[in-house]
Amino acid sequence: MAGTNATALSHLPDEILANVFAAVSDTRTRNALSLVCQSFRRLERKTRTSLTLRGNARDLHLIPDCFSYVTDLDLSLLSPWGHCLLAHRLRDAFPRVTSLTVYVRSSATLQLLLLDPWPELRHVKLVRWHQRPASTPGSDFAVLFEKCKSLWSLDLSSFYHWTEDLPPVLTANPVTAASLKGLNLLTTSFTDGYRSYEIQSVTAVCPNLEHLLVACAFDPRYLGYVGDETLLAIASNCSKLSLLHLADTSSLANRRGDPLDEGYTAEDARISRTTLIELFSGLPLLEELVLDICKNVRDSSFALEVLNSKCPRLKVLKLGQFHGICLAIGSQLDGIALCQGLESLSIKNCADLTDMGLIEIARGCSRLVKFEVQGCKHITEKGLRTMACLLRKTLIDVKISCCLNLDTAASLRALEPIRDRIERLHVDCVWNDLKETDSLGKTNLNFGLNGFDEPCSSTTKAAEEFVDYFGSSADIETSKRKRQRCNYLMEANWSNGNGYWCNSWDRLKYLSLWIGVGELLTPLPAAGLEDCPNLEEIRIRVEGDCRDRPKLSEHEFGLSILTCYPQLIKMQLDCGETRGYALTAPSGQVDLSLWERFFLNGIGTLTLQELDYWPPQDEDVNQRSLSLPAAGLLRECDTLRKLFIHGTTHEHFMNFFLKIRNLRDVQLREDYYPAPENDMSTEMRVASCSRFEDALNSRPFYD
C-alpha cells in the first residue's frame, strides 16, 4: 500500500513477530529474515531453538555467541569426528541446551564435554561409526549417567557399542535410570542384538520408560533369544510405555527379500498367543507398537482383537512375520481389522494375507493415513485397488514392496483411485518386460471397480458390481448394505461424475524406489509416473551384487529420465547395498568405478539442490569410496547447494566440487560400520579437510 501511512510487517509488535518467526522452520528462510534489519535479526536468534554445527574442531573458538536461545544442539558433524571439544566455549555460547547430539570416538570426549554439564540437559544422542575402543565395558556411559542425574532420554541408535556395556552402568546409577523416559537401542551395528536377560535388566531399573526401542534376536536357536519371558518382563516392568519397538537385527539391514518366498520361516518364534494378550493388557497406554520379529508368529488374529480393546490409544502398528492377522471369513470384522483407531499400519511378510484380508482391513481401519505392505505373496492389484477405493478420504502415504503379484505397473494401477491425493509413495522397480516406449502411464484410466478393462456406464453401476463381485466372499448380503456401499463409493472413490480416475499425481511430493542392480530406470514414466507436477524429493535404492553381473551393455542407469519432474530438487541415491570390486576386478568383471559411472551418468541434467549419495562398496576390504568418474559426474550438477557423500574419498577428488557455483555445504559421512581408521578420507586427514573447507568457504556466493 503506497503512502507514508503504509503498514509494514516490521510495525507488528515483537510478541506477534516472535510467534511468526517461531513458526518458520526452513533454515534459509530464517537466515533471510535475519538480514532484513537489526530487530528481525534479534527476533530470529531469539526464536531459533535448533542448531547443527558444521566445520572443523580447530575452529570452535569462532563459534558465534548470538544463538543463546538454542536448546537442541547437534555436534556430531564436526570434523574431525569425536575429537576433544572446547566444552567451556560451547556452554558459554549455548547456555540453554536441553538436547545434545555428539560424536563420541572415546569416553574422553564426554568426560571433557560434561565436566561441567548443562544444568537442564535432558536428551542425549551419542554417535559413533568407528570401532569401539578397547576399554572397560560401560566406560562410554559411566560419566554420562554420573553427571546427568535428570536425563530423560538416551538415543544409541547410531552408536557403535557392545550390548554388555549399558546394563551394568544403568544398574550402578539407579537414580539416573529411574529418570529415563526414552531409550533407543535400535543400533544397526548389532549382529545379535540385546539378549533376553539384558532387556530384562534394563527394564527392571528403568520403570518410568515411555519410549523403548530395542534391537534383539527372536531366533530360538541362539542363546539369549527374546521370547515369552522377555515380553512379559517388559509389560511388568514398564507399564507406562506409549511406544514399544522390538526389531530383530536381521530386519535392520532393510534388504529386500525374495518375492517367490512362501513367507514362512523354518523356525517359529517362541511367542505364544497368551503372551501377546498379556503384553497388550499390561501396556494400556500404547500409541505406537512395532514387532518386527522375522520368525513365524502364527494364528495372531485373536491376540490382535485383544490389542484393540486393551490399547485404545494405539495409532501406529507394524507387524513383521505375523500370520493369520485377518481371517476375512464372512462379513464380520476380525483380527487387525478391529483396530479401528489405527492411522498407520505396516504389514511385513504375512504369508496368508489375501485380497479379502486387505478389503476387511480397509473396512475396519477406516482412518488409515499410512499403509505399508511388504513381502505378501497372495495379494493382487484387484484387492489393493479396492482398498484404495475404500480409504480414498484418508490414505496419503503408501509403500508396496516385494509382493509377487504387484510389479511397478500393477502397483500404480491399483493406486489410481487415490492418485490425486497421495503425497508419499514407495514402489519397487520391477518392470516385467515393460519397455520405455510402452504407454501404460498414458492410457485412458477408465476402469470400473469390477476389475475389468471396459468402463462402467455410471458410478452407481460400478459400485453395485463391486458389491456383487465381493459379496459372496465377504458375505455382504443385505440390499441396505449394498446401497450404503454404493453411495460411499460414489461420493469418495471417483474423481468425477463420469467414472474417470485422475491421471495426475497432483500431490505427490516424495517418491521412493527400489531397483535391482543392472536394471534401468528408464521405464518409470511409462509405468504410470509420468505426470508428477509437484514431486520435490526422490530416493532411489540400488541393491545387488555387481560381481554376478556381466559387463555393462547400457551407457547409463537412466537418471536423465527424471527431468520430466519439474519441481524435483532433492535426491537420495543409495548404492550402499551394491557390492562389487573396489580395487582390481578379475578378468571379465567390471570394477565399481565403472558401475558408478553407469549410475551417475545423466545426473547433471537435473536441477537438484540437495543430493545424498551412498557409493557402492567392496565388503571384502570394507571400502565405500567415491571414485574419480563419480566425482567428475557429480561436478556437473551446477545447481547443487548441499552434497552429502556417505563414504570416503580423496582430497583431489573433492576439489572437483569447488567448481559448483552455488555449493554451500559438502559433507563426508562415514556412517557405516565400522568406519575405516587408516584410509585417505578427509575425515582422517585433518589437514586436507581443513584445506577443502577453507577453499569452499572463501569463494564468493551469489545467493
CATH number for 15? 1.20.1280.50
Return phi, psi of residue 302, to 5°. Answer: -65, -40
Residue 508, pLDDT above cutoff 90: yes
Start-to-end CA distance of the chain, whole Å, equals 28
**Looking at the predicted structure, is the pLDDT value of residue 465 above 60?**
no
- Is it the case that residue 495 has pLDDT exceeding 50? no
Q: What is the DSSP string of 525-562?
A: IIIIIS--TT--EEEEEEEEEGGGS----SS--SGGGG
What pLDDT shows up at residue 703? Answer: 62
Q: What is the pLDDT of residues 313-325, one digit of tens each?
A: 999 999 999 999 9
Lowest mean pLDDT among 414-418, 459-463, 485-489, 691-695: 459-463
Least confident piece of the model among 143-157, 170-184, 688-702: 688-702
* Whether the predicted pLDDT of 329 surpasses 70: yes
Confidence of residue 438 (pLDDT cuts 50, 70, 90): low
User: Strand locations in 76-122, DSSP E?
Assistant: 99-103
Q: Is residue 524 part of a domain?
A: no
Residues 639 and 608: beta-carbon distance below 8 Å: yes
Scanning the structure block, which residue is given the C-alpha cell 519397487? Answer: 428
Residue type, 226: V
Given 394, 429, 461, the domain boundary residue is 394
Buried residues in 356-387 as b, exposed as e (16+ CB within 10 A): bbbbbbbbbbebbebbbbbbbbbbbbbbbbbb
Domain boundary among 345, 372, 394: 394
Phi, psi of 401 (to 5 degrees): -145, 140
Alpha carbon 305 to its chain centroid, in Å, reads 28
Q: Are 344 and 333 in contact (CB under 8 A)?
A: no
- The residue ranking higher by pLDDT, 385 or 698, is 385
pLDDT on residue 178? 95
Query: Which of the listed residues 347, 375, 394 is the one where a domain comes to its end?
Result: 394
Q: What is the pLDDT of residue 82?
A: 59
Buried b (16+ CB within 10 A) or exposed e, 444-466: ebebbbbeeeeebeebeebbbbb
Mean residue pLDDT of the chain comes to 85
Tens digit of pLDDT for each residue in 64-78? 888 889 999 998 887
Q: What is the pLDDT of residue 317?
A: 98
Distance CA 49, CA 376 (A): 43
Cα angle value 584/585/588 (rounded, 5°) = 145
Whether residue 170 is predicted with pLDDT greater than 50 in this model: the reply is: yes
Instruction: Find the helix or strand (DSSP H, E) in which 490 lies.
Output: helix 479-492
User: Phi and psi of 214, rounded to 5°?
Assistant: -135, 135
Q: Mind giving me the DSSP string for 412-456?
A: HHHTGGGTTT--EEEEE---TT--TT--GGGS-----TTS-SSPP
Phi, psi of 695 (to 5 degrees): -65, -40
Q: Check pLDDT > 90 for residue 286.
A: yes
In this prediction the pTM is: 0.87
Mean pLDDT value of segment 238-252: 95
Mean pLDDT of 397-425: 96
User: Given this model, what pLDDT does residue 427 score?
Assistant: 97
How many angstroms separate the CA atoms of 696 and 636, rounded? 17
Strand partners, 316: 288, 344
Report the pLDDT value the prediction gives residue 635, as an integer from 0 to 100: 95
Question: Is residue 668 a part of any domain in this protein?
Answer: yes
The domain tally of the chain equals 3
Q: pLDDT-based confidence at 256, cuts 50/70/90?
A: confident
Distance, in Å, from the CA atom of 294 to the CA atom of 319, rounded to the nearest integer, reads 10
Return the bridge partners of 159, or none. 128
CA 432/CA 696 separation, integer angstroms: 46
E strand residue ranges, 202-255: 211-216, 243-248
Task: Give residue 468's pLDDT band: very low, low, confident or very high (50, 70, 90).
Answer: very low
Q: What is the pLDDT of residues 623-655, one digit of tens each?
A: 788 999 999 999 999 999 999 999 888 888 999
Give the per-residue pLDDT at 47. Answer: 86
Q: 190 in a domain, yes or no?
A: no
In a domain? residue 447: no
Distance (Å, rounded) from C-alpha 245 to C-alpha 345? 14
pLDDT at 498: 38
- pLDDT of 349-358, one tens digit each? 999 999 999 9
Q: At what angle do helices 355-364 and 381-390 cross, to 10 degrees?
A: 10
504 within 8 A of 529, measured Cβ to Cβ = no
Please give the grid coordinates belonging to residue 260.
517367490
Query: Rounded to an integer, what distance in angstroms lies between the CA atom of residue 611 and that of residue 644?
Result: 6
Sign of CA dihedral 427, 431, 435, 441: negative
Rounded CA-CA distance 382/66 in Å is 59
Q: Which residues contact 560 (CB under 8 A, 6 or more apart)?
A: 601, 602, 603, 605, 606
Q: Between these two residues, 521 and 29, which has the higher pLDDT value?
A: 521
**Cβ-defined contacts of 99-102 (< 8 Å, 24+):** 99/71, 99/72, 99/73, 99/123, 99/124, 99/125, 100/73, 100/75, 100/124, 100/125, 101/73, 101/74, 101/75, 101/76, 101/125, 101/127, 102/75, 102/76, 102/126, 102/127
36 close to 8: Cβ distance less than 8 angstroms: no
The one-letter code for the residue type at 596 is: E
| 153-166 mean pLDDT | 94
Range of the structural domain that residue 14 is part of: 8-48
Question: Is 584 contained in some domain?
Answer: yes
Q: Helices marked H in 136-259 — which ranges?
A: 139-147, 166-172, 174-179, 196-205, 228-237
On whether residue 101 sits in a domain, the answer given is: no
Identify the residue with better confidence: 258 or 426.
426
pLDDT number for residue 85: 63
* pLDDT, tens only, 559-569: 999 999 999 99
CA–CA dist 363, 274 (Å, integer):
27
Question: Which tens digit of pLDDT belongs to each residue from 576-616?
Answer: 999 998 877 787 788 899 999 999 999 999 999 999 999 99
